[in-house]
Amino acid sequence: MNAYNLKWDPMGKIPVIDIGTCSDCESCLELCPTIFKRNRETGLIEVVDLTEYPEEMVQEAISMCPTDCITWEEE
């Protein structure tokens, strides 16, 4: 098991990046490379399409984001 307690969110929340406020610092890519990726065509950071997202990992990315551009959205 890795350093995270992988508690999956049963409420159907998904992480969302506000690209208008994203500073492209790449902290989310470094912390959660299985959840966030860089789109090769647009160059923007985006959320990987998953059926469920590990809540604690996403919360860490949210807390480390210098521009607070990552939030949860209800599906």
CATH number at residue 50: 3.30.70.20
User: What's the number of domains the chain is made of?
Assistant: 1
pLDDT band at 7 (very low <50, low <70, confident <90, very high): very low
pLDDT, residue 6, reads 43
Q: Which domain holds residue 31?
A: 13-74
Global pTM? 0.82
Interatomic CA distance for residues 21 and 75, integer angstroms: 22
Exposed, middle or buried by CB within 10 Å (0-12, 13-18, 19+), for 41?
exposed
Mean pLDDT of the chain: 88
Residue 52 lies in a domain: yes
pLDDT, residue 23, reads 97
